Amino acid sequence: LLKALCATGDLQKAFEEFEKMQKEKKTISSYPFNVLLTAALNLWNPMIFFKVKEEMEQTAVPPNSNTLGLMVRMYGHKRMSGKAFALAEEWEKKWGLVPDAVVMSCLCTACFQSKDIKRALQTFEAAMKMGNSCREGAFKRQVINRLCKMCIRA
């Protein structure tokens, strides 16, 4: 129900349903938070997005790599790549959440959006050293395409 409400763009009813879930003391995982974060990101509503983040922190629900990717994307859209990296480091220490290929891609994109090409390349190099999932074609193509677009615009 929560996902359906978010898909229709009715975040008000989605929040009401979410609060109902919390009051009923249903076990809350990162999933409902991720659904709300995705909807807020897709509707470009930073106020709701950060409200959900705050709620997640208050309830001490452990995030997953999807949550981190969503957070990094929002910071990237706001051209706050420094905050994106700080959060990734904080969550790695606090939750043991090591950035995967998707998060590394989001971090590279956040750098591009902040016009920080040097840091984007450093992140790309770090990702290439991480493991197979980052070395696969899709990730490399995405970063290289973004780098080419940035160079063309410069």
If one compares 5 and 34, the residue with the highest pLDDT of the two is 34
pLDDT, mean of residues 55-64: 88
CB contact at 8 A, 88 and 103: yes
Is 90 exceeded by the pLDDT of residue 52? Answer: no
Q: pLDDT of 12-32, one tens digit each? A: 788 888 888 878 876 678 888
The rounded distance, in Å, linking the Cα atoms of 42 and 56 is 19
The rounded distance, in Å, linking the Cα atoms of 136 and 114 is 25
Q: pLDDT of 93-137, one tens digit each? A: 999 998 888 898 899 889 988 988 899 889 888 888 876 565 566
Half-sphere exposure of 33 (CA within 13 A, CB side): 27
Reported pTM: 0.81
* pLDDT of res. 24: 80
Other CB atoms within 10 Å distance of the CB of residue 8: 11
Residue type at 45?
Answer: N
* pLDDT of res. 27: 61
- Model confidence at 70, pLDDT cuts 50, 70, 90, reads very high
* pLDDT of res. 125: 85
